[in-house]
Amino acid sequence: MFKTIITIMTTVIGVLFSIQNFDHVPVYIISGKAVNIRLIFVIAISGVVGYLIRHFYGIAREERLKKQIQHLLRIKNTERNRGKKVSNSKKALWVNEVEEDEF
């Protein structure tokens, strides 16, 4: 019942937002001529493009972090096999790299 009410409310808010932003706006794409597009489409396209950019940036970042983890695990395993402890400088270097990527 709660999910149904939330779905109905979200749909009503979405429809009201669409109706309010149904006007045409001039958009200047690469050429100098203006193209009239409905504002709701401009908002939707901007949102989708922003989401996709953030999504692909996140995938690239995740792959880079996976490689760093695999590299550290290899170092840890080789040093464990030799009977040494993992040096703190290598841990600190990796932590600094990870902290620089966060924002």
Q: From CA 22, how far away is CA 15, in angstroms rounded?
A: 11
Task: Report pTM.
Answer: 0.56
pLDDT tens readout for residues 25-34: 898 888 788 8
**Which tens digits make up the pLDDT trace of 61-79?**
999 999 999 988 888 888 7
| Terminal C-alpha separation, the chain | 39
How do the pLDDT tens digits run along the chain, 103 residues long?
Answer: 889 999 999 999 988 888 888 888 898 888 788 889 999 899 999 999 999 999 999 999 999 999 999 988 888 888 777 765 555 555 555 555 555 554 4
Residues in Cβ contact with 22 at an 8 Å cutoff, skipping those fewer than 6 apart: 38, 39, 40
> Is 30 in a helix, a strand, or coil?
coil
E strand or H helix at 91, and its extent?
helix 88-101
